[in-house]
Amino acid sequence: MSGRIKSAKAKNTAIIERDSIKYYSKYQRRAKERIHITAHLPGCMKVQVGDMVTIGETRRVSKTKAWTVLEVISPVKG
């Protein structure tokens, strides 16, 4: 999966934000929603807020982390 880095303040942790469209059949409408995923950030990777990254599922690292950042797709300009 891919997403955008929303926060990387915690030690070895990054919050990934994904945009998705959900369909509500009762109302026959679509709604845009944002999903936040907590992912393990290896020490060898340097990321900034706004970077597009690829994440992969892994064994549970902590109570909330079951994903790992694998690569940076496109860094933020500047």
65 and 38 Cβ atoms separated by less than 8 Å: yes
pLDDT at 77: 79
Q: Could you please state the CATH topology (level 3) that the domain comprising 2-74 is classified under.
A: OB fold (Dihydrolipoamide Acetyltransferase, E2P) (2.40.50)
In tens, the pLDDT along 1-18 reads 999 999 999 999 999 999
Q: Which residues contact 17 (CB under 8 A, 6 or more apart)?
A: 3, 4, 5, 6, 34, 35, 36, 37
| pLDDT beyond 70 at 78 | no
The domain ranges of the chain are 2-74
Q: Give pLDDT tens digits for 22-39.
A: 999 999 999 999 999 999
